[in-house]
Amino acid sequence: MLEIKLRRSRIKSNRSRIGTFFIFMLLAAFGSFMVLPLVFAIVNAFKPINELFLFPPRFFVEHPTLGNFSMLFKLAGNLWVPFSRYIFNSLFICIVTTGGSVIICSLAAYPLAKYNLSFKWLFPIVVMTLLFNATVLDIPNFIIISKLNILNTYWAYILPNLAVPLGLFLMKQFMTQIPDSLIEAARIDGASQYAIFWKIVMPAVKPAWLTLVIFSFQAIWNQQGIGVIFDEELKTMPAAISQIVSGGIARTGAAMAGSLFLMTPPIVIFLLTQKSVIETMVHSGIKE
């Protein structure tokens, strides 16, 4: 820690104020450019329909209105199923699948990272699956789901998203950084394998599973269950909003409000976890 502080002070003393100012301005410019799509989506949600179709388009709204949201909720009230049911389905599926994905990927990555197993050749195959788009798995997933007789159930959402190759890769790479001496010391003290995993390994790889929570929640939140879910009571909120806004140009304002409504939960999850991810990423390089 003393060496790190000395390095930081040396770097700080060698950097001029003008250089720091220009670096800050450059990062601020890039950050502002990257946040423009999010700001534009928020602004569009409050635009009346006549401003949405202006040409050339205007970035900011001149006459903000909440009519888009009122139209969205009015259309949601006319659905066959209460809108609260869609919200419950989305939250239930996201919470169960995200938690299960973190646990399963972590349990699978631990032996691959810390034990000399004969089936470690499976890990390169898992890495190879990262090269493929998830769309190519739609037909195999449908065949497996139908063979398991879980079509039109919550399991059709949950089961295909529990074992995520990206999650396994991420957890394995972080667990490899944990010193073997730390695990051996815990084993000598009498800790069981489950105690080592939950009390030593999982806290040490906190940035990995927090990042996995963000990615998993975002991917699962946007799923509509097309092709595997047919009962209206089992559909998610993205599917409901997609049905609401498919009524033509007159519902463009409601579509903008629905897009903002769908963006909010993933953004909230990211804001709640990004501080821990950044702080623990800085100290993730554990060495012997």
The CATH number that applies at residue 222 is 1.10.3720.10
The closest of 100, 39, 12 to 260, measured between CA atoms, is 39
For the chain, report the end-to-end CA distance as a whole number of angstroms.
15
The closest of 2, 78, 93 to 251, measured between CA atoms, is 78
Distance CA 250, CA 166 (A): 41
Token pair in block for residue 104: 């399963």
Q: Which domain holds residue 108?
A: 66-282
* Number of continuous H segments (helices) and E segments (strands) in the chain: 15, 0
- The pLDDT tens digits along the chain (288 residues) read 444 444 444 445 456 788 888 888 998 888 888 888 889 889 999 998 888 888 888 888 888 889 889 888 888 888 888 888 998 999 999 999 999 999 999 999 998 888 887 777 888 888 888 888 778 888 888 999 999 999 999 999 999 888 888 889 888 888 888 888 888 999 888 888 889 999 999 988 888 888 889 888 988 998 888 888 888 899 998 888 888 877 777 788 888 888 888 888 888 888 887 776 665 555 544 444
Q: Would you say residue 26 lies in a domain?
A: no
Distance CA 206, CA 280 (A): 7
Q: Would you say residue 45 lies in a domain?
A: no
Q: Would you say residue 53 lies in a domain?
A: no
Q: Would you say residue 1 lies in a domain?
A: no
Q: Would you say residue 41 lies in a domain?
A: no
pTM of the model as a whole = 0.80
Q: Would you say residue 3 lies in a domain?
A: no
Q: Would you say residue 61 lies in a domain?
A: no
Token pair in block for residue 153: 């159930």
Q: Would you say residue 56 lies in a domain?
A: no
Structural domains of the chain, count:
1
